[in-house]
Structure 1
Amino acid sequence: MRLIWWVYSHSNTKKNLYINQSQCNAWLTHKKWKSLNFTTTRTTTLFLKLEDFLWRKNVSQQPLPYGIKGCGMLIFLVYFTFLVLHNVSNFTLTDQVGLECRRCVVVGNGFSIKNTSLGSIIDKYDVVIRLNDAPVRGYEEDVGKKTTLRIFYPESASSNPRLHNEEDTLMVLVPFKSEDLRWLKEILYDEKRNSEGFWKPPPLIWLGDRGKVRVLDPHFMHQTANKLLQFPLNNFHPTTGILAVFVALNYCDVVHLAGFGYPANSAQHQPIHYYGHYTMKSMQNSSHDISKEAQALKMLEDSGIITNLHPHL
């Protein structure tokens, strides 16, 4: 069955974007991805498991955010006891496991998505991935309202995820440092919060569904930095946006983007998000290499591996 969606081309005119079943069955995205010497599998496990540090022979020798070295006890406390107490055992997106064609959209927080009216299109995808504390309510016309995964870290967490997520949204923590896992442990067990070790205070009260929390395997951060961006580890860290794109490429058959792209560095007063008041000036001391990320996204787009749903900066 052919699905026809109207989307914006890069020339600001509308065009038909066809996603047909044969395209998904052949998994053309995966073939193109392999042509760039990346190794992916559609059954890749996205989230950390107990075996990652209990009985795996080759334990990662990298510390966070690129490995689990030195975090075994924290992972044990976060996962093992929590799974027993709350009977949480699913480490996959169970609603999408049986799909022959897994169609995903990664919704960035960029100002470029404003006034695009893409909301109804975004909500038709099988998997919608959102980032950090980006709001949905009040912005539905442009960004949609469906959320399958929300990738975040403590400093970017919303104190009340229920406001801008659905009941079955998986909240996926990206641990950049051991304090991030400690924060999650304190939240899960309702322990006394400790805000030391963060570049800005994370929420001390978190009203999300504890049973919907997962921890992204640091393997994806490592591969995003090392393979996709190809910069030395620990010099820069990938943004959650480029990380989410890499996750989608490992998990989905078709990957589309919306809301990606930063303004030019010269536009210091240009807003960078479709919400809030942050401008390019706030990126001056960033630990991210946004120029390198823009080049990587352009390479993926030019190769036909990803598709942008609207003109972007």
Structure 2
Amino acid sequence: MNYRQKKSRVLISLLLCISVIPMFFNPSWNLSVYSFGPWKSSFCSCLKCIRDGDPRFREQIDASPEPFLPRKHSISENDFLWWKKIKQEKYDFAFFNATVDKVFEMLPIISEDVEPRPDRCRICAIVGNSGNLNGSRYGPLIDLHDFVIRMNYGPTRGFEVDVGTKTTHRVMYPETASLLDHTTHLVFFPFKMEDFLWLIENVGSDLNKQSLANKNLVMILNPAFMKHVHQVWLQKKGAYPSTGFMTLAFSLMICDEVSVFGFGADSDGNWGHYFEKIKVQNFGTGYHPGKYEYNLIQQLQKIQKITLYKGH
């Protein structure tokens, strides 16, 4: 980013802050995530970078498999066998490799740069779907981030005050798919072989039908990374990690600063969604170790690797 771009970014951000503070300011917000200025750090140009500080945390990040499948994909058969158990797949490793090869023939898959750069400050907002976003008035704050990564259905229309309007990346799989605009990255989470086949048909196909997403902006989560998150981060708790936690995990690798919104239960202890009315109280998290994941998120906040906004 050159000097003129930085200067423009500062001006725009100040104008946005001036316009929203009277109506939306919440004294609990930590605006230190906005690192506009010439500050330098050992790993990025933000005021505070994820990889700075504790070398053990940095080593854990660096030891992770690539979060997204690269064009020369090469996951091990052991990684495949772990992934295969998620949905009790019947296909073998050879079929997996052949299918992924076909995906790469049809889609120019993006493998995001995970290496930090001293001239870059990439600030990301991870927006979950927790009911604790209702009444939070986080919308303007969320929209100030460079990347705004949303999950599954998570709508913005009608909820702008609390969740914002900006979406740069949308995490989805076939059962939660929705039509994306031409500028939004599809971050595809494959949980079974049929998911890859679905991707080819709905995004990579040249048939005369509307594509679900821009095929030039597709990123596919690496099954080896899923396994790593489950075994290393979650210590094998639960059947497999939740979509939200895997999203947070990959954001720690592609972002320089991370803000987390809409995770955990609401103030009544319900694990519901901000866009749904709760008819029956829900204190469980299904197949996922939701409470364990949320405790890890709080630990990341404690050691200042993320900024957690707990909502309403």
Q: Report the TM-score when normalising by structure 2.
A: 0.74
Task: State whether residues 203 and 211 of structure 2, in contact with CA within 8 Å, keep that contact through their aligned partners in structure 1.
Answer: no
* Distance in 1, Cα, partners of 2:54 & 2:262: 22
Deviation at 1:155, TM superposition (A): 1.1
2:97 equivalent in structure 1: 72
Q: How many residues align?
A: 277
RMSD over aligned CA atoms reads 3.8
Gaps of 5+ in 1: 193-203
* Distance in 1, Cα, partners of 2:133 & 2:206: 39
**Equivalent residues in 2 for 1:150-299 (5 A)?**
150-158=170-178, 160-162=179-181, 167-188=182-203, 190=205, 207-231=212-236, 235-263=238-266, 267=269, 270=270, 272-277=272-277, 284=284, 286-299=286-299
| AA in 2 matched with 1:143 | V
Greater Cα offset, 255-264 or 240-249: 255-264
Task: State whether residues 32 and 303 of structure 1, in contact with CA within 8 Å, keep that contact through their aligned partners in structure 2.
Answer: no
Gaps of 5+ in 2: 1-5, 85-91
* Distance in 2, Cα, partners of 1:98 & 1:147: 26
Task: Say if 2:146 is the partner of 1:108.
Answer: no
Q: Deviations over 1:226-269 (max 9, x none)?
A: 2211126xx511111111111111111111111111248x85xx
Q: Alpha carbons of 1:128 and 1:99: their partners in 2 closer, same or farther (altered >3 Å)?
A: farther
Deviation at 1:97, TM superposition (A): 8.2
* Distance in 2, Cα, partners of 1:151 & 1:209: 14
1:48 equivalent in structure 2: 69
Q: Alpha carbons of 1:142 and 1:93: their partners in 2 closer, same or farther (altered >3 Å)?
A: farther
2:301 equivalent in structure 1: 301
* Distance in 2, Cα, partners of 1:33 & 1:175: 32
Task: Say if 2:161 is the partner of 1:141.
Answer: yes
Q: Alpha carbons of 1:144 and 1:64: their partners in 2 closer, same or farther (altered >3 Å)?
A: farther
* Distance in 2, Cα, partners of 1:64 & 1:148: 32
Task: State whether residues 149 and 167 of structure 2, in contact with CA within 8 Å, keep that contact through their aligned partners in structure 1.
Answer: yes
* Distance in 2, Cα, partners of 1:297 & 1:213: 27
2:40 equivalent in structure 1: 22
- Identity, % of aligned pairs? 27
Task: State whether residues 33 and 305 of structure 1, in contact with CA within 8 Å, keep that contact through their aligned partners in structure 2.
Answer: no
* Distance in 1, Cα, partners of 2:141 & 2:109: 32
1:126 equivalent in structure 2: 146
Q: Report the TM-score when normalising by structure 1.
A: 0.74
Deviation at 1:120, TM superposition (A): 1.4
SS at match of 2:69: coil
| Richer in helix (by share) | 2
